[in-house]
């Protein structure tokens, strides 16, 4: 049995204290991150600078001693590597060239042609695998095909993913071809991260919640299953965390159906419900509301203890239900970690 707490939880072990890391733990709430990002010049330059990307990945480990570091990158590097134009607008987020038909899909690069663009990311992973503390797990990641597709179709984030829903209904062959291309590229990308030293990979489906019924199965569950199966065939034993955010009832059975070793949960479901319906199948990750990192106080302590208490009878990785926000107080993160590690209730 491995000594690393997160790998033990992912293998199905119930630990007396859950291991802990935090989505977007390298981010703008930290002054050291803001300094390094200023040094890089802009967000994409930071993603593609292996030394600086490794530095910001290491910063929250040095400050807090999290049980895992997650590679600093962005889910939209894959569409850029496939040939989409990508840029970031300050204060507004990412922008991409739009893709709405079969000729647009056919103009994308083949999935195995992404590695030249993404080589700096693999170098970041190699640096981290050397420099992280021996007890810290290194997590690689990618966006799930549906979520990545929503940005590629709309050219930006949208409140309801309407452009992608329109394309999947009105141009299903083109949309399915797009999902297939992203799926293949994601397998290639994560496989190279694993080869470079990632010990776990996570698939972020941030907009899975807007898929319902058969569409959820087809565009959230099936791609996650395909990616997980391909990675486990290439890298036997590699643990996979799946995060179909806001899936609701779709969380139930998602781990067994996809082959994922852990299902990450957002905070729209209660930890008690998730313990009953999702954790019975294996490891879960989550699911404290990220807003507590802003507001702090006794409510932070109480809700942190609630999450730990709800999941203490099965394998659990403590995390937020969403990425930490730029307005979070670093002291609240320290309080959360202290509460998790001192919980005896």
Q: What positions carry a catalytic annotation?
A: 24, 28, 37, 74, 151
50-64 helix and 31-40 helix, angle to the nearest 10 degrees: 170
Residue 79 to residues 90, 131, 235, 315: CA-CA distances in angstroms? 20, 29, 24, 34
DSSP state of 12: T
Tokens 């970690």 correspond to what residue?
337
* Alpha carbon distance 140, 196 (integer Å): 10
Give the E-state strand segments of the chain in sequence order. 68-70, 86-89, 93-96, 137-143, 200-205, 240-244, 262-264, 283-288, 316-320
Question: In degrees rounded to 5, what are phi and psi of residue 159?
Answer: -65, -30
Q: Are 315 and 10 in contact (CB under 8 A)?
A: yes
Q: Are 262 and 10 in contact (CB under 8 A)?
A: yes
Residues in the chain: 345
- SS3 letters for 149-215? HHHHHHCCCCCCCHHHHHHHHHCHHHHHHHHHHHHHHHHHHHHHHHHHCCCEEEEEECCHHHCCCHH
* Alpha carbon distance 15, 123 (integer Å): 33
């Amino acid at each position: 049995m491995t000594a690393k707490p997160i790998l033990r939880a992912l293998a199905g072990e119930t630990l007396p204290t859950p291991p802990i890391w935090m989505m977007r733990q390298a981010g703008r709430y930290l002054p050291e991150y803001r300094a390094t990002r200023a040094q890089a010049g802009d967000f994409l330059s930071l993603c593609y600078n292996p030394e600086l990307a490794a530095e910001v990945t290491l910063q929250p480990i040095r400050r807090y001693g999290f049980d895992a570091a997650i590679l600093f990158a962005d889910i939209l590097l894959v569409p850029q590597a496939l040939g989409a134009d990508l840029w970031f607008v300050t204060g507004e987020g990412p922008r991409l060239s739009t893709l709405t038909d079969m000729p647009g899909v056919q103009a994308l690069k083949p999935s195995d042609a992404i590695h030249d663009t993404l080589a700096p990311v693999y170098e970041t992973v190699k640096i981290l695998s050397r420099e992280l503390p021996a007890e810290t797990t290194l997590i690689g990641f990618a966006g799930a095909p549906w979520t990545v597709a929503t940005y590629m179709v709309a050219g930006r984030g949208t409140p309801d993913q309407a452009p992608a829903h329109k394309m999947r209904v009105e141009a299903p062959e083109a949309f399915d071809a797009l999902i297939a291309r992203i799926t293949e590229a994601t397998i290639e990308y994560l496989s190279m991260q694993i080869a470079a030293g990632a010990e776990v990979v996570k698939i972020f489906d941030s907009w899975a919640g807007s898929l319902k019924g058969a569409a959820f199965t087809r565009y959230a569950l099936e791609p996650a299953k395909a990616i997980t199966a391909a990675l486990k065939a290439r890298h036997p034993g590699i643990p996979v965390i799946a995060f179909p955010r806001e899936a609701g009832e779709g969380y139930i059975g998602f781990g067994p159906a996809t082959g994922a070793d852990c299902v990450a949960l957002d905070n729209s479901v209660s930890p008690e419900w998730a313990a009953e319906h999702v954790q019975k199948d294996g490891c879960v990750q989550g699911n404290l509301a990220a807003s507590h990192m802003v507001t702090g106080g006794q409510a932070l302590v109480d809700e942190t203890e609630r999450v730990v208490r709800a999941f203490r009878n099965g394998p659990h990785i403590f995390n937020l239900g969403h990425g930490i926000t730029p307005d979070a107080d670093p002291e609240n993160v320290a309080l959360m970690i202290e509460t998790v590690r001192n919980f005896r209730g």
